[in-house]
Amino acid sequence: MLPRPDEKTIRTIKDAAKKLKGVLRRAFQAQVVFDYCDGNISHTKTVFGRNQPTIQRALCERETGEIIPDAPRKGRDTFSEKLPNLQTDIRSLVDPNSQTHPTFQTSFRYTRMTAKAVREALVKEKGYKKEELPALSTLRKLLGDMGYCLRRVQKTKPQKKFPKPMRSSRTSKPLMQKATKTTKRYESR
The per-residue pLDDT for range 114-125, each reduced to its tens digit, is: 888 889 989 998
Residue 163 placed within a domain: no
Same domain, 58 and 26: yes
Tens of pLDDT, residue by residue over 34-81, are 888 888 888 888 888 888 888 888 889 989 988 888 777 777 777 778
Same domain, 83 and 58: no
Same domain, 93 and 51: no
Q: What is the mean pLDDT of the chain?
A: 78
Residue 143 burial (CB count, 10 A): 21
Confidence of residue 94 (pLDDT cuts 50, 70, 90): confident
Residue 54 burial (CB count, 10 A): 14
Residue 19 placed within a domain: yes
Q: What pTM did the predictor assign?
A: 0.42
The answer to whether 148 touches 100, Cβ cutoff 8 Å, is no
Residue 131 CA to residue 116 CA, distance in Å, equals 14
The H or E element that residue 79 is part of is helix 79-82
Give the range of the structural domain holding residue 35, as residue numbers without chain letter: 7-64
Residue 49 placed within a domain: yes
Same domain, 57 and 87: no
Confidence of residue 161 (pLDDT cuts 50, 70, 90): confident
